[in-house]
Amino acid sequence: MIGRLRGTLIAKQPPWIVVDVGGVGYELEAPMSTFFDLPELGREVNLCTHYAAKEDTVVLYGFLRESERSLFRTLQKVSGVGAKISLAVLSGASVDEFTRLIQSGDIPALTRIPGIGKKTAERMIVELRDRVDGLASGLPSTISGGVPQDPVAEATVALQTLGYKPVEVTRLVRDAAAPGDSAEDIIRKALKAALR
């Protein structure tokens, strides 16, 4: 198992990042909450990881905070919830906000996250209400922002990867993008707008 990686951030293209650790480039999939706080390319990054091996794929997921990795793992214990929905949850809400939605039973807010329908939201509330109490937000290991070359395109790809439909992505990005915004800024604003 790979539980933690510390190395140089050499690529970031939502939802993928590559971290060079001793000459080996580890490709990780990460939620947008991690992307928002990644350092510039060429800087050191310290990530909590989750290794997932299935029949035909092996994926390594990366998180800046232990609380995010814990929520990612906890979410997958809910029937019908896999890695894609877990990443969408972490990309659309902070650990504290998601905890609040579960504890208050806010089904409408949960169903605004891609991949979560009414039945899944109800299952999450029932199965997670007692489990989310122990999750607390941690501080990011490093904070800094890089400047992507085409922020609108990066934001569009990232939102589609999270499960939003192309028409919805176009509207969200158009409404969120402002001159000088990074991809992370556009994605953050688009996700907030999508949850309203």
Assign residue 187 the CATH number of its domain.
1.10.8.10
Residue 36's pLDDT is 86
Decide which of 46, 63, 80 is a domain's last residue.
Answer: 63
Point out the residues of the chain with pLDDT beneath 70: 133-149
One domain, residues 48 and 71: no
Domain boundary, last residue among 17, 34, 63 = 63
Residues 56 and 75 grouped into a single domain: no
Alpha-carbon gap, residue 46 to 65, rounded angstroms: 9
For residue 24, give its domain range: 4-63
Q: What is the pLDDT of residue 72?
A: 92
Model-level pTM?
0.68
Residue 74's domain is classified under what CATH number?
1.10.150.20
pLDDT at residue 151, rounded to an integer:
81
What pLDDT, on a 0 to 100 scale, did the predictor assign at position 139? 35
Distance CA 149, CA 11 (A): 12
**Distances in Å between the alpha carbon of 50 and those of 63, 95, 106, 171?**
8, 17, 28, 33
The confidence score (pLDDT) of residue 168 equals 84
Residue 182 lies in a domain: yes
Both 155 and 125 in a single domain?
no
**pLDDT score recorded for residue 16:** 92
Cα torsion 15, 20, 25, 28 to 10°: value is: -30
**Are 116 and 161 within one domain?**
no
* Tens-digit pLDDT profile for residues 61-74: 999 998 899 899 99
Total domains present in the chain? 3
Q: What is the pLDDT of residue 97?
A: 86
SS in 3 state form for the chain?
A: CCCEEEEEEEEEECCEEEEEECCEEEEEECCHHHHCCCCCCCCEEEEEEEEEECCCCEEEEEECCHHHHHHHHHHCCCCCCCHHHHHHHHHHCCHHHHHHHHHHCCHHHHCCCCCCCHHHHHHHHHHHCCCHHHCCCCCCCCCCCCCCCCHHHHHHHHHHHCCCCHHHHHHHHHHHCCCCCCHHHHHHHHHHHHCC
CB 71 within 8 A of CB 63: no
